[in-house]
Amino acid sequence: MPIYTGQLRDVSLCKIENTDIEFLFGYIVEHVSPRFNKDDWFASSYLVKIEKINDFLVAETANSIYRIPAFTLMTVPLEALDNIRMGTPPEQAYVFFKALFLNPCISHFNRWSNCGFIVVHCKSINCSTQMLLQVQDEGIFYAIAF
């Protein structure tokens, strides 16, 4: 039986498109490190393997072993990875990444807080502005320029 580093919930297994690189993202249930608290956002190191042991999946990363009840598989572009690691849920980071290609004025985005808002930096020839976006479940944005 492996010695677990911790247990995660609401886990996404994110595969970086066009690579063999995979990471786990989710929320801490418990962790051996005092750096982590329950319900903290967590991004793992590279995923090595996942196997089923008893009623849990066991995810081995480059430097830890985690128990996870289940996971959602997502493929994300490499460009969305930094935002995911900073705490943007993978599905939101992917929506914003697609928005970057649909609107060439948007240069980049950053997570602003844990309340579902993202700061988007828009650049054009005449001005530079920022917008605060809130993502709804349907992928619809509400924007406020500031």
- Per the model's pLDDT, the better-predicted residue between 41 and 140 turns out to be 41
57/51 Cα distance (integer angstroms): 6
Residue type, 121: H
In tens, the pLDDT along 82-93 reads: 777 777 777 777
Q: How far is C-alpha 134 from the geometric centre of its chain's CA atoms?
A: 16
Residue type, 143: A
Is 25 in contact with 42 (CB distance < 8 Å)? Answer: yes
Ordered DSSP codes for 34-100: TT--TT-EEE-S-EEEEEEETTEEEEEESS-EEEES-EEEEEE-GGGHHHHHTT--HHHHHHHHHHH
pTM of the complete model: 0.63
pLDDT higher at 3 or 126: 3
Distance (Å, rounded) from C-alpha 41 to C-alpha 17? 22
Q: What is the pLDDT of residues 5-48, one digit of tens each?
A: 999 999 989 888 888 888 888 899 999 999 999 998 888 888 99
